């Protein structure tokens, strides 16, 4: 079932490109206003004792214009990675590992276990942001991660006790990670082809490209069963994973989107035309958000796309998220549960006073940002969220890191037991 016609697709892609480039120009000139509009910049992270960890929110904005030329170049086809791992590729129809088994009901941690795991559920959570996973040799390109860089990111996360959780669990304050693990969220914007590419094997069958993001993730999940699973793919529904310049991938759109949902990944809203929300009317915003959701539901019936990766990170005029909270379009009601920013620091715990699901900060996956924050984590372990293994309890150390003192918002702990140790 393909709801799209080729002419519409071509026009749509042209629109996306045009809006993208125009939008970035506006984005660059207005990014300061953006920062002012954000109610939860978590400035402590960026300005406290470690000056090396400084991460002004505007910094990622300042680099955004670099994205413009990258949108129009096409390095990936010329530099397609080798497919010598073809035999180990996960199959698109493999449903054997569709669901992470639920953790057994957790007993309260013993004093010994508390000391062993050092849970800190008031700590911060990294939400990483990826755009393109492609071979490339331009170190200035902050919007492309090579397959090997991405593998390195995942290996670092695994080696440092991180555990991949769905964005919805974070937004809903239902984080479910084993005791002692640090939750992390992976997000992928734009549905670029390098995120999920199908390739033909020697025997003529199709399989997931082991050098695409999904191929790399599946390889990790197969090797490490204590790494969690998931990733939010905020696609552009006119050409899911068929952009840029990957017409041959269009035929797999429905299979890919269903495969993602069946295998523990999530789909996010990114509007239909990658609009700059400051540029358009409220009615246009409502239409773009609703139609994106409807188009994805044509591929995957009843799909939940209630988290929005805000295009360019540019929120509606004045930082007003009222529409996100709920709107009507052509007689139907819609609502978002969360919205993701562009930049530039770890996100607060869902029970932190600064937590606002409509303003979730993300860390861009370039060497500079990741290097900064990975070092920050290593140097400041007491600031990071560490799970107690039980989604029904909020466990916080008595001697919490100075940045986290008095930052628990009791109103966000409803239905949960708060344990201090």
Stretch that binds Zn ion, among 99-107, 182-190, 196-204, 335-343 (CB under 5 A): 182-190
Q: Which is nearer to Zn ion, 134 or 218 (CB)?
A: 134
**64 contacts 312 by C-beta, under 8 angstroms:** yes
295-322 burial string, b = 16+ CB within 10 Å, else e? bbbebbeebebbbbbbbbbbbbbebebe
Alpha-carbon gap, residue 379 to 372, rounded angstroms = 11
Helices (DSSP H) in 303-344: which residue ranges? 322-325
CB-count exposure of residue 255 (10 Å: 0-12, 13-18, 19+): middle
Query: Is 134 near Zn ion (CB under 5 A)?
Result: no
Nearest distance, CB of residue 310 and Zn ion, angstroms:
9
Nearest distance, CB of residue 240 and Zn ion, angstroms:
13
Q: Which is nearer to Zn ion, 361 or 389 (CB)?
A: 361
What is the longest distance spanned by two Cα atoms in the chain?
Answer: 65
Stretch that binds Zn ion, among 30-38, 63-71, 187-195, 406-414 (CB under 5 A): 187-195
Q: Which is nearer to Zn ion, 142 or 396 (CB)?
A: 142
Nearest distance, CB of residue 342 and Zn ion, angstroms:
8
User: What's the distance, Cα to Cα, between the start and end of the chain in Å?
Assistant: 55
Phi, psi of 228 (to 5 degrees): 70, -165
**345 contacts 366 by C-beta, under 8 angstroms:** no
Stretch that binds Zn ion, among 116-124, 183-191, 243-251, 403-411 (CB under 5 A): 183-191
- Considering only 190, 209, 211, 218, the residue that binds Zn ion (CB under 5 A) is 190
Q: Which is nearer to Zn ion, 176 or 364 (CB)?
A: 364
Q: Which residues contact 125 (CB under 8 A, 6 or more apart)?
A: 170, 182, 183, 184, 185, 346, 347, 348, 349, 384, 385
Find the binding residues for Zn ion in span 353-412 (CB under 5 A).
none
Stretch that binds Zn ion, among 159-167, 168-176, 190-198, 202-210 (CB under 5 A): 190-198
Q: Which is nearer to Zn ion, 182 or 270 (CB)?
A: 270
For residue 104, the Cα-to-chain-centroid distance in whole angstroms is 27
Radius of gyration of the chain from Cα atoms?
A: 21
**57 contacts 41 by C-beta, under 8 angstroms:** yes
Query: Is 288 near Zn ion (CB under 5 A)?
Result: no
Query: What would the x/- binding string for Zn ion be over residues 17 to 56, using CB under 5 A?
Result: ----------------------------------------
Q: Which is nearer to Zn ion, 305 or 404 (CB)?
A: 305
Query: Is 189 near Zn ion (CB under 5 A)?
Result: yes
Stretch that binds Zn ion, among 186-194, 201-209, 282-290, 390-398 (CB under 5 A): 186-194
Alpha-carbon gap, residue 277 to 285, rounded angstroms = 6
**416 contacts 137 by C-beta, under 8 angstroms:** no
Number of H helices, E strands in the chain: 13, 16
Q: Which residues contact 138 (CB under 8 A, 6 or more apart)?
A: 144
Query: What would the x/- binding string for Zn ion be over residues 140 to 179, using CB under 5 A?
Result: ----------------------------------------
Stretch that binds Zn ion, among 78-86, 157-165, 188-196, 243-251 (CB under 5 A): 188-196
Q: How many amino acids of this chain bind Zn ion (CB under 5 A)?
A: 2
Q: Which is nearer to Zn ion, 191 or 215 (CB)?
A: 191
232-235 and 182-190 as β-strands: parallel, antiparallel, unpaired?
A: parallel
Residues present in the chain in total:
421
Phi, psi of 47 (to 5 degrees): -125, 5
Nearest distance, CB of residue 271 and Zn ion, angstroms:
9
Nearest distance, CB of residue 130 and Zn ion, angstroms:
11
Q: Which is nearer to Zn ion, 64 or 175 (CB)?
A: 64
Q: Which is nearer to Zn ion, 124 or 136 (CB)?
A: 136
Q: In this structure, what token pair is assigned to residue 86? A: 């073809």
Nearest distance, CB of residue 308 and Zn ion, angstroms:
11
Helix (H) or strand (E) segment spanning residue 399: none
Q: Which is nearer to Zn ion, 154 or 308 (CB)?
A: 308
Q: Name the site residues for Zn ion (rule: CB under 5 A).
A: 189-190
């Amino acid at each position: 079932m393909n709801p799209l016609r080729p002419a519409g697709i071509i026009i749509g892609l042209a629109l996306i490109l045009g809006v993208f480039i125009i939008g970035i120009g506006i984005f660059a000139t207005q990014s300061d206003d953006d920062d002012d509009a954000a109610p939860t910049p978590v400035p402590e992270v960026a300005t406290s004792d470690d000056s090396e960890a400084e991460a002004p929110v505007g910094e990622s904005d300042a680099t955004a214009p670099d994205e413009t030329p990258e949108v129009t170049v096409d390095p990936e086809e010329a530099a397609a990675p080798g497919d010598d791992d073809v035999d180990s590729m996960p199959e698109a129809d493999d449903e054997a590992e569709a669901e992470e088994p639920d953790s057994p009901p957790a007993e309260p941690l013993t004093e010994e276990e508390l000391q062993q795991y050092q849970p800190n559920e008031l700590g911060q959570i990294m939400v990483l942001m990826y755009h393109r996973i492609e071979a490339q040799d331009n170190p200035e390109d902050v919007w492309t991660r090579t397959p090997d860089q991405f593998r390195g990111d995942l290996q670092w996360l695994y080696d440092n006790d991180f555990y991949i959780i769905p964005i919805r669990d974070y937004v809903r304050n239902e984080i479910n990670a084993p005791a002692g693990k640090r939750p992390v969220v992976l997000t992928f914007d734009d549905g670029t082809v390098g995120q999920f590419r199908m390739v033909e094997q020697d025997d003529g069958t199709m399989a997931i490209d082991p050098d695409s993001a999904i191929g790399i993730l599946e390889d990790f999940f197969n090797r490490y069963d204590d790494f969690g699973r998931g990733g939010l793919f905020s696609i552009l529904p006119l050409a899911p994973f068929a952009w840029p310049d990957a017409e041959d991938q269009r035929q797999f759109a429905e299979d890919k989107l269903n495969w993602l949902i069946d295998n523990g990944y999530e789909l996010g809203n990114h509007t239909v035309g990658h609009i700059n929300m400051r540029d358009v009317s409220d009615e246009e915003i409502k239409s773009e958000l609703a139609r994106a959701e409807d188009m994805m539901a044509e591929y995957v019936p009843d799909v939940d796309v209630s988290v929005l990766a805000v295009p360019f990170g540019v929120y509606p005029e004045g930082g007003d998220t009222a529409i996100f909270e709920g709107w009507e379009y052509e007689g139907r009601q819609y609502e978002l549960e969360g919205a993701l920013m562009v930049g530039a620091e770890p996100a607060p715990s869902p029970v932190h006073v600064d937590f606002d699901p409509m303003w979730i900060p993300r860390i861009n996956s370039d060497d500079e940002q990741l290097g900064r924050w990975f070092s920050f984590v290593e140097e400041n372990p007491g600031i990071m969220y560490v799970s107690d293994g039980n989604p029904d309890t909020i466990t916080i150390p008595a001697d919490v890191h100075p940045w986290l003192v008095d930052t628990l918002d009791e109103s966000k702990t409803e239905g949960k037991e708060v344990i201090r140790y």
